Amino acid sequence: MENKKNSDAAYKLLFDYPGMIRQLLENFIPMDWVKWIDYHKLEKVNASFVRRNYRKKESDVIYKLFFQGQTAYLYLLLEFQSSVDSTMPFRIQSYVNDFYESMIKKEKKDRYPIVFPVVIYNGDKPWNVPDNVKDKIEIPNDPKLIPYIPSLKYFKIIINEFKKDSLLKIRNTLSSIFLIEKLEEEEMEPYFKKIAEIIVQEIDPDLKKAFQNWLQRLVDDQVLPESEVLLNSTQEEVYTMFTSTLKKMEKKWEKRGKLEGKLEGKLEGKLEGKIEIAKNFYRMGLSIEQISQGTGLSIKQVNQALSQE
């Protein structure tokens, strides 16, 4: 399933629910400490806690975690750009530093809680960015300089790296959302029955509502009103809702496809016109460079056009 412009806002709303944070940590962070968290005490960090320029990052979600007499902060970055950002390690370092600065302003102490940064990426391109800022810095010739290289690791959750059946086996709301993100259009209907069973068995009504709103936003860019559609629905009723949503998506894809087709046709027509002009210029005795300047075509395109003469 291709990346949607509404995914960012839709995902941010998902993680307003502590239950979704629990599913994220317990099922996608394979570390012992996530088992020690008191999930009844999850505390979403209020926007007023961080400084002004930090609040503008709409795709950031922060939670305060409590476990074994200690606290930590989960810093969640939802990365849904169409291209992979090679500067991510530096961005993470900057965001975490900003957050520590906000903590320092609030309370002066010798040591501060750890901030655990997590990046969720749902794009189609392979994630080929290092997960530690130290791997973006040249290794100095003098080994005495190596200790001065900063090091900050982030945990990455790259949705396109998961196998569909692996997500299906997790059998919870968040894994179902990740699965839907991976599905191609022709795969959706066969998987929807299996996903409907998972959603019906979800015991947290807030997560059912969160799932429903997420799905709706992908289609209509709006949050559903308070609804009981998923709360007491059967598997068949949920499946019917999925197929109805799929039909809406198909209409949007069809409409967008027609628009893209028209645009592509215009661009092709424009290119054909330039090629014809290039051929005429060549017949008039102009050089390749002059033809390129006169038509806006690259020298390679001019040569390709003239090779067909």
pLDDT single digits (tens) 26-50:
999 999 999 999 999 999 987 555 5
pLDDT value, residue 269 = 57
Helix (H, G, I), strand (E, B) or coil at 157: strand
Report the chain's mean pLDDT, rounded to a whole number: 80
pLDDT value, residue 219 = 63
Read off the pLDDT of each residue in 264-292 and give the average, rounded to a whole number: 71
pLDDT value, residue 122 = 84
Whether the CB-CB separation of 305 and 275 falls below 8 Å is answered with yes
Q: Distance (Å, rounded) from C-alpha 65 to C-alpha 53?
A: 24
| Pairwise pLDDT comparison (12 vs 93), residue with the higher score | 93
pLDDT value, residue 238 = 64
Read off the pLDDT of each residue in 126-149 and give the average, rounded to a whole number: 95
pLDDT value, residue 255 = 47
| Pairwise pLDDT comparison (261 vs 26), residue with the higher score | 26
| Pairwise pLDDT comparison (281 vs 77), residue with the higher score | 77
Helix (H) or strand (E) holding 63: strand 60-67
**Portion of the chain with pLDDT greater than 90, in percent:** 40
pLDDT value, residue 3 = 42
pLDDT value, residue 249 = 57
Model confidence at 280, pLDDT cuts 50, 70, 90, reads: confident
Cα–Cα distance list, 173 to 8, 26, 244 (Å): 17, 13, 19
- Bridge partners of 44, per DSSP, are 63
Q: What is the reported pTM? A: 0.72
Residue 263 reports pLDDT greater than 50: no
Read off the pLDDT of each residue in 47-67 and give the average, rounded to a whole number: 68
Lowest mean pLDDT among 56-60, 77-81, 105-109, 161-165: 56-60
Q: Which residue has the tokens 């900057």?
A: 94
pLDDT value, residue 1 = 45
pLDDT value, residue 237 = 65
Residues 66-96 have pLDDT tens digits of 999 999 999 999 887 778 899 999 999 999 9
Model confidence at 223, pLDDT cuts 50, 70, 90, reads: very low
Q: Distance (Å, rounded) from C-alpha 158 to C-alpha 297?
A: 39
Q: Distance (Å, rounded) from C-alpha 78 to C-alpha 85?
A: 12
pLDDT value, residue 181 = 83
Model confidence at 13, pLDDT cuts 50, 70, 90, reads: confident
| Pairwise pLDDT comparison (97 vs 289), residue with the higher score | 97
Handedness of CA 91, 4, 22, 54 (dihedral sign): positive
pLDDT value, residue 268 = 56
pLDDT value, residue 133 = 96
Residue 64 reports pLDDT greater than 90: yes
Burial of 57 (0-12, 13-18, 19+ CB in 10 A): middle
Q: Distance (Å, rounded) from C-alpha 126 to C-alpha 200?
A: 33
pLDDT value, residue 202 = 84
Residue 221 reports pLDDT greater than 70: no
